[in-house]
Structure 1
């Protein structure tokens, strides 16, 4: 039993050494280009999200601005009968 466990333990470090990662096989320049591209894409995605959020806020503001008096009165939480 002990011999089997030892052989399995010895295999794991060798497997890690044998495995090459993408980072190991690429040139440093190519790796830097990929990192820059990743940063650029992330920044573009954040800008798109911010623009979409701003557009939604503007649409809500326009809808609120164009509501009729009746719609505003119906949405009000105050009990207007108390003031009559």
Structure 2
């Protein structure tokens, strides 16, 4: 087991084996992909908000009345 441990220590990590510029490129790519993912999620969120607004704007009077939290029985008296 001691021999395997020494071999592993001599090998180092993947970061140590790669060239510095390649590591920087990979880190840059990772950051770009993360930004793209965040942008995509934000666009999807805005799209859902817009769709909800459109559905709300296109509701009929009956749908608006049914969604109302007012209790119309109180106004009959």
Normalized against structure 1, the TM-score is what?
0.78
Gaps of 5+ in 2: none
Paired position in structure 2 for 1:70: 62
| Aligned counterparts of 1:19 and 1:58: Cα–Cα separation in 2 | 54
| 1:18 CA displacement | 3.6
Is the deviation greater in 17-26 or in 38-47? 17-26
After TM superposition, the structure 1 stretch with the greater mean CA deviation from structure 2, 48-57 or 12-21, is 12-21
State the Cα RMSD in Å.
Answer: 1.7
Query: What is the Cα deviation at residue 14 of structure 1?
Result: 2.9
Q: Based on CA coordinates, which of the two structures has the bigger radius of gyration?
A: 1
List gaps (5 residues or longer) in structure 1: 1-7
For the residue of structure 2 that corresponds to 1:78, the secondary structure is: coil
Match of 1:44 in 2: 36
1:4-83, aligned counterparts within 5 Å?
A: 11=2, 14=6, 16-83=8-75
Q: Quote the offset at 1:40 in angstroms.
A: 0.3
> TM-score, normalization: structure 2?
0.85
